[in-house]
Chain A
Amino acid sequence: MSDYAVEFDNVTKQFGDNVLFEQFNFNIRKNEVVSIIGPSGSGKSTLLRILMTLEGIDAGMVRVQGESLWHMQKGGAWLPADERHLRKCRGHMGMVFQHFNLFPHMTVLRNITEAPIHVLGQSKEEARANGLELLRTVGLADKADAYPSQLSGGQKQRVGIARALAMRPSILLLDEITSALDPELVDEVLEVIRKLAAEDAYTMILVTHEMYFAREISDRVCFFDAGAIVEEGPPEQIFNQPKHERTRAFLNSFLNI
Chain B
Amino acid sequence: MPLNEIFSVLAEGALVTIQLVAMALPLATAMAFISGLLRLSEHRALRWLAAIYVEFFRGTSALIQLYWIYFVLPFFGISIDAITAGVVALGLNIGAYGSEVVRGGLLSVDRGQTEAAIALNFSPRQRLWRIIMPQALVGMMPPFGNLAIELVKATSLVSLITIADLTYRAKSLADMTLQVEEIFGLVLVFYFVMAQVLTLAIRALEKHLGKGMDRGGLA
Contacts and interface: CB of A to CB of B under 8 A. Distances in A.
A and B in direct contact, judged by CB atoms within 8 A: yes
Interface of A: 52-54, 83, 87, 90-91, 93-95, 97, 99-107, 114-115, 118-119, 147-150, 156, 163-164, 167
Interface stretch (B10-18, B54-62, B113-121): B113-121
B214 interface: yes
Contacts of B119: 52, 54, 90, 93-95, 97, 164
A122 B118 CA distance: 18
Interface stretch (B22-30, B32-40, B69-77, B129-137): B129-137
* A-B CB proximity, top 5 nearest: A147-B212, A148-B219, A101-B116, A104-B219, A115-B120
Q: Which of A94, A115, A156, A167 has the most CB of B within 10 A?
A: A115
Given A101-B112, A148-B219, A119 B135 contact: no
A148 B214 CA distance: 9
Interface residues of B, number: 27
B118 A53 contact: yes
B212 A149 contact: yes
Contacts, number: 88
A103 B121 contact: no
B123 A54 contact: no
Contacts of B213: 104-105, 147, 149
Contacts of A101: 110, 112-113, 115-116, 219
Given A105-B213, A147-B212, A156-B219, A115 B122 contact: yes
B124 interface: yes
A159 to B, nearest CB: 10
B124 A83 contact: yes
Given A119-B126, A149-B212, A103 B131 contact: yes
Given A87-B121, A102-B219, A103-B219, A149 B116 contact: no
